C-alpha cells in the first residue's frame, strides 16, 4: 500500500497489484467417485483410489456411508441412511474423516441416533465434542481391579450373581424371558447413585423402545440416561455403528471420573446386521453364514469397558450386553462367542418363566467371574450358600415328583427351598434397596417364610421391606461402607421378620 502526501492509495490499480503480488493459493485436490451398484444397505463405489478403510463418504443425495471393503478399482460401502435415495452413477466424495458421534452432557435426557442426532423432537443437541466411534481399548496398565459393587436392585442377581463397576456381564436367554426388564431395572436402581446410564437399542421395534423410554422416565432416571435407538426400520449400517457410538459416549464421561452403565440390547441383532452387510458385500461366509471377523467386532467393542486408573480419568464403564438364544441353545455361535468375551452371564430360563418365577434367573447356569470380589461382606455372609440351597432344593423337588415317600427332614428341606426361591421373586420396575434385600433373605433362610401360601409369602415380604426401610437406616449405611452384618444386626432383621409374619398370618387367619 503506497502513500503520497498523507493519502492512502486504495484504488483499483493498487488492489490488482496486491493480488498479483500475493502468493498463489495451494491447489485443492477433490476426489469424486461414482456409484456402480446399490443394494439394500450397501453401495459399490468406483473412482476413489485414495479412500481409506473406515473412512466416511458423502453421496450427492446427502446419504453418508462408511468404507468396509477395499478392492482394486472398487470399494464396498455400508450406507448410514436409506438406500432408496442413492442412485447408480451419482457422485461420491471423500470426507477424510471417520464415522464420529456427538458426546457430552447435552445428550443426557435425550433420545438420539447412533451419530448423536436428536430423535425425540426436542430440538438440536448441544454437544461438547465430536469423537470417532472406534477407539483403542485401554491398556492393562490403564486399568484397575474391580472392587466396587453395582447394585441392580434385583435380589437374585445382587445376592448370587453380583456385578462390579467396570464388569462386562452378559444377559442371555430366549425370547420373552425378561432380558430387557432386567437391564431396565438395573438402570432404574441407579436413581440413588450417581451412575450415568446409556441404553442402546439395536434392531428393536419402535414400540419396544417407547416402552423402555416410558419406564425410565417414570422411574425418574431420564435426566441421567441417554437413549440411543437404531431401530429395525433404520439402515443396517446404523445398527452396526450403534454400540460403538454408545461406548464412545460412555468413554467421554468415564474420562471425567464418572461411572457409566451401558446396556447393549441386543448384540444378536448387531451380529445379524453385520452378517447382512457382509453377505451383500460378497464376503466369504463361515459358521451360521457369519463372516470370519464376527468374534473380533464384539471383542474390540467390549474390551473398551472396565475400571480405569486415575491416569486416564479414574472412571468406569460397566456393560450389560444382551444376547438372545433359541430353544435354550447356549452353544450357538454368537452366544458362545460372547460368553467367552464377557466376565460372566445372567441366564434367564424359560423353564422358570413357565413356573411364574420372575425374574427367571437360573442360578445353576448364571455366574459372575469378577463381581464376587466387589460384593459387600453383608451379602456374602447372608447369601453365601444361597446357590447351594437352591440347587439342592431343585434336585429334591425333581426327585419328589416320583411320589416317593419322604421323611420329615427332606420335607423340611423342600419347604425351606420353596420359601427361599419365593423370596427371590419380585415384580419388574421394582428395584429393591440392599438392606431390604438382606432382610428378606435373612427371613427366608431363617425359616420365617416356611409353610406360607403364595399370597401370604408376598404379604410378609412386603411387610418386611416396609419395616426394614423404616427401622434399619443405620444398617444401610454400614452395608454401604462395606461392613459385615454382626449378630445383633441379624437378630434385628430376624425380629422384624417375625413381627411381619405374625401380623400378616394373624390378620389373614392363615396357619404357619
Q: In the CATH hierarchy, which top-level class contains the domain 32-98?
A: mainly beta
Q: Is residue 421 annotated as part of the catalytic site, yes or no? A: no
Where along the chain do its domains lie?
A: 32-98, 101-375, 381-508
CATH 3.40.50.300 at 101-375, yes or no: yes
**CB count in 10 Å sphere of residue 504:** 21
Do residues 267 and 250 make contact, with C-beta atoms less than 8 angstroms apart? no
Look up the CATH architecture of domain 381-508. Answer: Up-down Bundle (1.20)
pLDDT tens string for the chain (512 positions)? 444 444 455 567 777 777 778 887 777 667 899 999 999 899 999 999 899 999 999 999 999 999 999 999 899 999 999 988 899 999 999 999 999 999 999 999 999 999 999 999 999 999 989 999 999 999 999 999 999 999 999 999 999 999 999 999 999 999 999 999 999 999 999 999 999 999 999 999 999 999 999 999 999 999 999 999 998 889 999 999 999 999 999 999 999 999 999 999 989 999 999 999 999 999 999 999 999 999 999 999 999 999 999 999 999 999 999 999 999 999 999 999 999 999 999 999 999 999 999 999 999 999 999 988 999 899 998 988 898 889 888 888 888 877 667 788 888 889 999 999 999 999 999 999 999 999 999 999 999 999 898 899 999 999 999 999 999 989 998 888 888 888 899 999 999 999 999 998 864 444 44
C-alpha span between 199 and 212 (Å, rounded): 9
Asked whether this chain's domains 32-98 and 101-375 adopt the same fold, the reply is no
Which of these, 487, 497, 501, 500, lies nearest to 382 by C-alpha position?
487
* Contact residues for 22 (Cβ-Cβ < 8 A; gap 6+): none
Predicted TM-score of the model (pTM): 0.91
Catalytic residue among 96, 282, 351, 369: 369
C-alpha span between 402 and 467 (Å, rounded): 41
C-alpha span between 74 and 360 (Å, rounded): 50
Amino acid at each position: 500500500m503506497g502513500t503520497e502526501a498523507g493519502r492512502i492509495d486504495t484504488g483499483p490499480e493498487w488492489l490488482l497489484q496486491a493480488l498479483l503480488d500475493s502468493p498463489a493459493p495451494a491447489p485443492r485436490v477433490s476426489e469424486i467417485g461414482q456409484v456402480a451398484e446399490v443394494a439394500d444397505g450397501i453401495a459399490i463405489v468406483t473412482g476413489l483410489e485414495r479412500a481409506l478403510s473406515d473412512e466416511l463418504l458423502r453421496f450427492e443425495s446427502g446419504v453418508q456411508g462408511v468404507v468396509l471393503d477395499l478392492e482394486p478399482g472398487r470399494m464396498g460401502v455400508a450406507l448410514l441412511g436409506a438406500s432408496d435415495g442413492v442412485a447408480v452413477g451419482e457422485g461420491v466424495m471423500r470426507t477424510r474423516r471417520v464415522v464420529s458421534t456427538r458426546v457430552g452432557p447435552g445428550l443426557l435426557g435425550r433420545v438420539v441416533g447412533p451419530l448423536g442426532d436428536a430423535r425425540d423432537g426436542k430440538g438440536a443437541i448441544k454437544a461438547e465434542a465430536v469423537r470417532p466411534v472406534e477407539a483403542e481399548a485401554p491398556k492393562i496398565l490403564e486399568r484397575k481391579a474391580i472392587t466396587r459393587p453395582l447394585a441392580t436392585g434385583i435380589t437374585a442377581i445382587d445376592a448370587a450373581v453380583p456385578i462390579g463397576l467396570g464388569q462386562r456381564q452378559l444377559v442371555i436367554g430366549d425370547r420373552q424371558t425378561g432380558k430387557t426388564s432386567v437391564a431396565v431395572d438395573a438402570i432404574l436402581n441407579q436413581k440413588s447413585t450417581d451412575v450415568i446410564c446409556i441404553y442402546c437399542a439395536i434392531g428393536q421395534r419402535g414400540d419396544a423402545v417407547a416402552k423402555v423410554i416410558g419406564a425410565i422416565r417414570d422411574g425418574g432416571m431420564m435426566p441421567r440416561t441417554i437413549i440411543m435407538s437404531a431401530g429395525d426400520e433404520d439402515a443396517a449400517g446404523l445398527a452396526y455403528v450403534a454400540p460403538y457410538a454408545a461406548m464412545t459416549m460412555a468413554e467421554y464421561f468415564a474420562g471425567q471420573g464418572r461411572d457409566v452403565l451401558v446396556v447393549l440390547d441386543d448384540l444378536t441383532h448387531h451380529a445379524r446386521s453385520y452378517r447382512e452387510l457382509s453377505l451383500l458385500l460378497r464376503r466369504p461366509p463361515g459358521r451360521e453364514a457369519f463372516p470370519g471377523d464376527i468374534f473380533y467386532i464384539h471383542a474390540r467393542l467390549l474390551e473398551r469397558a472396565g475400571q480405569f486408573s486415575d491416569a486416564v480419568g479414574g472412571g468406569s464403564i460397566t456393560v450389560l450386553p444382551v444376547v438372545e438364544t433359541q430353544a435354550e441353545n447356549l452353544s450357538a455361535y454368537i452366544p458362545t462367542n460372547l460368553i467367552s468375551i464377557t466376565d460372566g452371564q445372567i441366564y434367564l430360563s424359560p423353564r422358570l418363566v413357565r413356573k411364574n418365577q420372575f425374574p427367571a434367573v437360573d442360578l445353576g447356569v448364571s455366574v459372575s467371574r469378577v463381581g464376587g470380589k466387589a460384593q459387600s461382606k453383608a451379602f456374602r455372609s447372608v447369601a453365601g450358600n444361597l446357590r447351594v440351597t437352591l440347587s439342592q432344593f431343585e434336585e429334591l423337588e425333581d426327585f419328589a415328583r416320583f411320589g416317593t415317600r419322604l421323611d420329615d427332614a427332606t420335607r423340611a428341606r423342600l419347604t425351606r427351598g420353596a420359601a427361599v426361591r419365593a423370596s427371590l421373586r419380585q415384580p419388574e420396575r421394582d428395584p429393591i434397596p440392599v438392606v431390604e434385600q438382606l432382610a428378606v433373605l435373612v427371613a427366608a433362610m431363617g425359616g420365617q417364610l416356611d409353610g406360607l401360601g403364595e399370597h401370604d409369602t408376598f404379604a410378609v415380604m412386603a411387610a418386611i421391606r416396609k419395616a426394614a426401610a423404616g427401622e434399619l437406616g443405620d444398617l444401610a449405611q454400614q452395608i454401604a461402607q462395606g461392613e459385615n452384618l454382626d449378630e445383633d444386626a441379624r437378630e434385628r432383621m430376624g425380629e422384624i421378620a417375625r413381627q411381619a409374619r405374625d401380623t400378616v398370618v394373624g390378620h389373614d387367619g392363615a396357619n404357619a
